[in-house]
């Protein structure tokens, strides 16, 4: 995603440096095993990776992707060096169908017993974690500048307010916006019922009158400068702009508030899976098990600020997540729409695409 450009470059440099240092170290010491991880940007704290490397005498080769499409295209395109991937739940479903993922040997993953069953149950296609292990469950929501908008209801109806015209943005993402409009009208965020979708479309047409733009890239910046007062967003993206990431976001609690609207929303889950083609399967099992070690998982939750998915880790979490577990559990996890996607595309063309 574009707001990450600068940090990405820095990170690349950092990894480049680490890589060089590791290669140098390799030349001196005995050859280490490797583990290839393919993951989203900013999902696993660096010290967690370092600890795993140290404990297992392994070198992690870490590559980041910025969308499920990119990850899927890379793996589908024949890249067979990766061991662990972090697909979103809808893409994980697709990858299981395409026979790309290893059926997990749970005897090698004792820690996944710690995972909240309510979280795993959200994965309708794989509730028993046979192929995929939840990494986290999150949802988009609305961030409001309280100084500019002192009175508001925690509802999607905020986008219908003409007094906020030109000061709001919706995500440039059909699933998120249509999902939100469906929930606003009291339907499932995965609905494929034409009558329900028509109502959702009417809401979007209404919201469009008041928003400045459909924006997934620059709203964080506009929000930080005070040009935008209400943004439909992923909390972590905005915190990246208004403060130094999420590290100190409590300082801004008086000024900004993030919430998942009371009507609910669409949610997404990122999972961990081992590829059928993984060259280092044993190490991959160790890694997934390590991530769900309570101490480690608490550390990750403190970093991502997403409600912790691991029951034993929850008491160890020290920082308040960006939104409550109950709120995200009340959301509908996005499922792969398959050939019904056209219904959503048509609404998007009619609303976003200039009709």
Partner 1 sequence: MKKPRLHRERNYGTIYALPIALWFTVFFLVPLLVIIVFSFLKADVDGGVMPLVSLDAYRNLLRPRIFRIFFNTIWVSVVSTLITILMALPCAYFMAKSKAKTFLLILVIIPFWTNFIIRVFAWKTILESNGVINSLLIGFGAIANPLPLEHNWIAVIIINVYTYLTYAILPLFSTIEKFDFTLLEAARDLGASKIQSIVRVLLPNVKAGIVTAIFFTFIPLLGSFVVQQLIGTKDMYMLGNEINDNIYKYFDWPTAYAIAVVLMLLANVGLLFVMKNDRKQAKAASARRVDDVDDGPRAPRQAISVAGGR
Q: How many residues does the chain have?
A: 355
Please, are residues 25 and 71 in contact by the beta-carbon 8 Å criterion? no
Q: Which of 79, 114, 160, 213 binds partner 1 (CB under 8 A)?
A: 213
Asked whether position 208 contacts partner 1 by CB under 8 A, the answer is: yes
Task: Determine the straight-line distance between the first and last CA of the chain, rounded to whole angstroms.
Answer: 27
Asked whether position 11 contacts partner 1 by CB under 8 A, the answer is: no
Going by C-alpha positions, the residue among 119, 122, 126, 121 that lies closest to residue 101 is 126
Helix (H) or strand (E) holding 38: strand 33-40
Asked whether position 147 contacts partner 1 by CB under 8 A, the answer is: no
* Interface pattern 59-88 for partner 1 (x via CB under 8 A): ----------x-------------------
Residues 6+ apart with CB under 8 A from 102: 131, 273, 274, 275, 276, 278, 281
| Cα angle for residues 33, 38, 44 (degrees, 5° grid) | 90
The stretch near partner 1 (CB under 8 A) out of 157-165, 218-226, 246-254, 317-325 is 218-226
Q: Which of 110, 127, 186, 338 binds partner 1 (CB under 8 A)?
A: 338
Site for partner 1 in 221-240 (CB under 8 A): 221-222, 225-227
| C-alpha dihedral sign at 282, 113, 292, 305 | positive
Asked whether position 341 contacts partner 1 by CB under 8 A, the answer is: yes
How far apart, in Å, are the Cα atoms of 136 and each of 50, 159, 161, 189, 313?
21, 28, 33, 19, 13
Asked whether position 218 contacts partner 1 by CB under 8 A, the answer is: yes
How far is the C-alpha of 95 from the C-alpha of 131, rounded, in Å? 10
Tell me the closest approach of the beta carbon of residue 21 to partner 1, in angstroms. 27
Q: Which of 2, 20, 46, 121 binds partner 1 (CB under 8 A)?
A: 2
Residues 6+ apart with CB under 8 A from 314: 298, 308
The stretch near partner 1 (CB under 8 A) out of 208-216, 282-290, 300-308, 315-323 is 208-216
Q: Report DSSP state, residue 115.
A: B
Asked whether position 172 contacts partner 1 by CB under 8 A, the answer is: yes
How far is the C-alpha of 137 from the C-alpha of 85, rounded, in Å? 16
The stretch near partner 1 (CB under 8 A) out of 81-89, 251-259, 303-311, 339-347 is 339-347
Residues 6+ apart with CB under 8 A from 173: 216
Asked whether position 217 contacts partner 1 by CB under 8 A, the answer is: yes
Asked whether position 56 contacts partner 1 by CB under 8 A, the answer is: no
The stretch near partner 1 (CB under 8 A) out of 136-144, 304-312, 323-331, 335-343 is 335-343
Asked whether position 128 contacts partner 1 by CB under 8 A, the answer is: no
Q: Which is nearer to partner 1, 146 or 221 (CB)?
A: 221
Tell me the closest approach of the beta carbon of residue 236 to partner 1, in angstroms. 19
Half-sphere exposure of 242 (CA within 13 A, CB side): 31
The stretch near partner 1 (CB under 8 A) out of 216-224, 289-297, 302-310, 323-331 is 216-224
Tell me the closest approach of the beta carbon of residue 229 to partner 1, in angstroms. 12
Q: Which is nearer to partner 1, 34 or 227 (CB)?
A: 227
| Cα angle for residues 125, 43, 240 (degrees, 5° grid) | 125
Asked whether position 41 contacts partner 1 by CB under 8 A, the answer is: no
How far is the C-alpha of 296 from the C-alpha of 305, rounded, in Å? 14
| C-alpha dihedral sign at 245, 249, 253, 257 | positive
The stretch near partner 1 (CB under 8 A) out of 36-44, 81-89, 197-205, 347-355 is 347-355
Residue count, binding to partner 1 (CB under 8 A)? 32
Which stretches of the chain bind partner 1, using CB under 8 A?
Answer: 2, 5, 69, 94, 172-174, 208, 211-215, 217-218, 221-222, 225-227, 338-339, 341-342, 345, 348-350, 352-355
């Amino acid at each position: 995603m574009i707001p990450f450009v600068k940090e990405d470059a820095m990170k690349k440099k950092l990894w480049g440096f680490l890589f060089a240092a590791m290669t140098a170290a390799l030349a001196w010491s005995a050859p280490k095993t490797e583990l290839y991880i393919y993951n989203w940007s900013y999902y696993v704290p660096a010290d967690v990776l370092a600890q795993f490397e140290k404990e297992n005498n392994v070198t992690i080769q870490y590559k980041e992707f910025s969308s499920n499409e990119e990850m899927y295209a890379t793996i589908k395109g024949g890249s067979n060096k990766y061991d662990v991937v972090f697909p979103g739940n809808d893409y994980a479903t697709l990858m299981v169908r395409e026979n790309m993922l290893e059926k997990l040997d749970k005897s090698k993953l004792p820690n996944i017993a710690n995972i909240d069953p309510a979280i795993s149950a959200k994965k309708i296609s794989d509730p028993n974690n046979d192929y995929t292990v939840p990494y986290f469950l999150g949802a988009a929501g609305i961030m409001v500048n309280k100084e500019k908008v002192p009175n508001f209801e925690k509802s999607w109806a905020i986008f219908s307010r003409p007094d906020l015209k030109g000061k709001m943005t919706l995500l440039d993402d059909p699933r998120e916006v249509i999902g939100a409009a469906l929930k606003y009208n009291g339907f499932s965020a995965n609905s494929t019922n034409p009558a329900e979708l028509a109502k959702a479309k009417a809401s979007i047409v209404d919201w469009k009158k008041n928003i400045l733009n459909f924006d997934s890239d620059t709203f964080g910046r506009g929000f930080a400068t005070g040009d935008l007062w209400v943004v439909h967003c992923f909390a972590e993206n905005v915190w990246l702009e208004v403060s130094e990431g999420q590290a100190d976001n409590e300082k801004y609690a008086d000024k900004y508030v993030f919430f998942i609207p009371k009507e609910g929303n669409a949610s997404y889950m990122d999972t961990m899976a081992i590829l059928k083609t993984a060259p280092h399967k044993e190490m991959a099992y160790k890694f997934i098990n390590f991530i769900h070690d309570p101490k480690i998982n608490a550390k990750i939750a403190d970093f991502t600020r997403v409600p912790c998915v691991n029951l034993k880790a929850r008491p160890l979490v020290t920082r308040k997540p960006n939104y409550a577990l109950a709120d995200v559990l009340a959301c509908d996890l996005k499922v792969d729409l398959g050939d019904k996607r056209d219904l959503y595309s048509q609404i998007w063309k009619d609303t976003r695409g200039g009709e």
